[in-house]
Amino acid sequence: MDFAFQVLEVMVLGFFIVLGLATATIVVMFIIDKTQTDDAIRRNYPVIGRFRKLFSNLGEFFRQYFFAMDREEMPFNRAQREWINRASEAASNTVAFGSTRNLNVVGTPIFVNAAFPPLEDQFAKTAPMVIGDGARLPYTAMSFFNISGMSYGAISKPAVQALSRGAKEAGVWLNTGEGGLSPYHLEGGCDVVFQIGTAKFGVRDHDGNLSDEKLREVAAHNAVRMFEIKLAQGAKPGKGGILPAAKVNKQIAEIRGLKVGQAGISPNRHAEVDDWDDLLDLIGHIREVTGKPVGIKTVMGAEEPIADLFAAINARGADCAPDFITVDGGEGGTGAAPMPLIDLVGMSIREALVAVVDLRDQAGLKERIRIIASGKLVNPGDVAWALAAGADFITSARGFMFSLGCIQALKCNKNTCPTGITTHDKRFQGGLVVEDKEKRVARYARELIHEVETIAHSVGVAEPRLMRRRHVRIVQDDGRSLPMNKITPSYNPVTSP
């Protein structure tokens, strides 16, 4: 009995201690909130005003998991993410009952099924395509779907390792992004596209200028198959890359030529390129030094500048042309960008791709320049649309991030990514098991390619690159759909009788 009373006394004492500490904490928070001058809500509503910020921060997660419908979220909705997740897990991607997609939304592509599609044994896999057949070492690309630029620094070591290994298994290429070539890009043995950003990370001298010696060092790796000169990126046209200082560790600093803890801020353009002729000179120089195909990545703001590029090429001769042009849409992603640029600058891939393809064809350069489409093309329908519109290849970054386990936490610009993909915090990286994620990367690539081939089969062609604009209808504002080739006809040169 005495023991029971002692326990009760301890419990009561503990209760009052906790109550006292809680009261003291509330009093302290009240005084802090009432005296601070930064936050009007906390000043006017001490203590309880703090919940506003808490609920605002948690709101995006509650919407994602509980309130948003499958097709509502931005930048990627639940239906898109779930398709990638199932593909990455080799789970069935069949669905039942009916589509949850609203097919009346303006701009929705609807593929035109053939009355008599090819039989199963008449179905062909996508043929390889050569890029840069005029270079000393042209590249035969095996896949039409590949991994877009994500630099080591913007994403973590295990993320790059998983992408490299998965790309090798699936037979797709991996773009380094503008952060230079790391050992982790090479370890998987996949084909690598080296991106040269405006800061020339990985191929610059002590003064930040392009170094021929370092270009040769990079090109000496057999795995490096092409070079991409980045002029602009969809999420931030007119501004260079931004790698926050918190992400610049010792190894990243060495690869990029920075100091530890120094933010990697790239110029908004290549300082030595003032016009299209300068750009063609740079392309020719890099192709001569490396012997490998060289292309550009850009964002379309208007048709005139791109038309001027093709005019400059024809004035000098097709040999000076870039071997490929990567067209990034204004809806493209990034690890960090100012909101006005990510929201409001750059033409959508749905408009830009069609325009660039037509301008290239009008200039008579269809066989000389390959077109790569990029920008929120992560599901089979998106990729099939791009091929029908005229793209030769499609690249995706965020699609492969989802295959790695990205949950769209929107923390890419910080060092706190909960899945370990865009952080260098070892604690978070521990959740990204390379041996598991590399398989997810490969499965996603293979399944997407397979389902695009399925769409191609449905519209009546043997392989995806044979799809044309006539195979797609686009929903209009009156609810009806029109053939894409009626809205934006493909360029067909007039031939003599």
Q: How far is CA 481 from CA 41, 109, 475, in A?
A: 50, 9, 4
Look up residue 405 and give its DSSP letter: T
Per DSSP, the residues of 87-148 read HHTT------S---S-TTSTT-EEE---SSPPPGGG--PPPPEEE-TTSSS-EEE--SEEE-
Cα 399 from chain centroid? Answer: 7
What is the dihedral sign for C-alpha 460, 465, 466, 467? Answer: positive
User: How confident is the model at residue 495, as a pLDDT?
Assistant: 46
pLDDT tens by residue, 136-186: 999 999 999 999 999 998 889 999 999 999 999 999 999 999 999 999 999
For the chain, how many helices (H) and strands (E)? 17, 15
Distance between CA atoms of 157 and 182, rounded to whole angstroms? 9
What would the mean pLDDT of 93-100 be, rounded to a whole number? 63
Extended beta strands in 321-425, E state? 324-328, 370-374, 393-396
* Token pair listed for 95: 């669905």
pLDDT band at residue 497 under the 50/70/90 scheme? very low
Mean pLDDT of the chain: 86
CA torsion angle for 450, 453, 459, 460 (degrees, to 10)? Answer: -130
pLDDT score of 210: 95
DSSP single-letter state for residue 63: I
User: pLDDT for 337-346, tens place per residue?
Assistant: 676 666 667 7
Predicted structure pTM score? 0.85
Name the phi and psi angles at 141, rounded to 5. Answer: -85, 130
Domain covering 120-487: architecture:
Alpha-Beta Barrel (3.20)
- Domain positions in the chain are 2-67, 120-487
- Is 146:394 a contact under the CB 8 Å cutoff? yes
Packing angle of the helix pair 303-316, 349-362 (nearest 10 deg): 30
Helix (H, G, I), strand (E, B) or coil at 359: helix
Q: Which of 145, 80, 174 is nearest to 448 (CA)?
A: 145
Per-residue pLDDT, 120:
76
What are the phi and psi torsion angles at 418 (to 5°)? -70, -15
Task: Say how far apart CA 248 and CA 265 lie, in whole Å.
Answer: 11
Radius of gyration of the chain (CA): 26
3-state SS, one letter per residue, for 143-156: CCEEECCCCECCEC
Q: Alpha-carbon distance 57 to 342, whole Å?
A: 21
What are the pLDDT digits (tens) for 210-225?
999 999 999 999 999 9
CB under 8 Å to 469, separation ≥6 — which residues?
Answer: 388, 389, 390, 483, 484, 485, 488, 489, 490
- 99 residue type, one letter: S
Question: pLDDT tens-digit profile of 224-260?
Answer: 999 999 998 776 676 777 777 777 888 888 888 888 8
pLDDT category at 336 given cuts 50, 70, 90 is low
Over range 197-201, report the average pLDDT. 92
Cβ atoms within 10 Å of 495's Cβ, excluding its own = 5
Rounded-to-integer distance, Cα 404 and Cα 157, Å: 13
**What whole-number distance in Å separates Cα of residue 174 and Cα of residue 395?**
9
In tens, the pLDDT along 38-93 reads 777 777 778 877 776 666 655 555 555 554 555 455 566 667 777 787 778 777 76
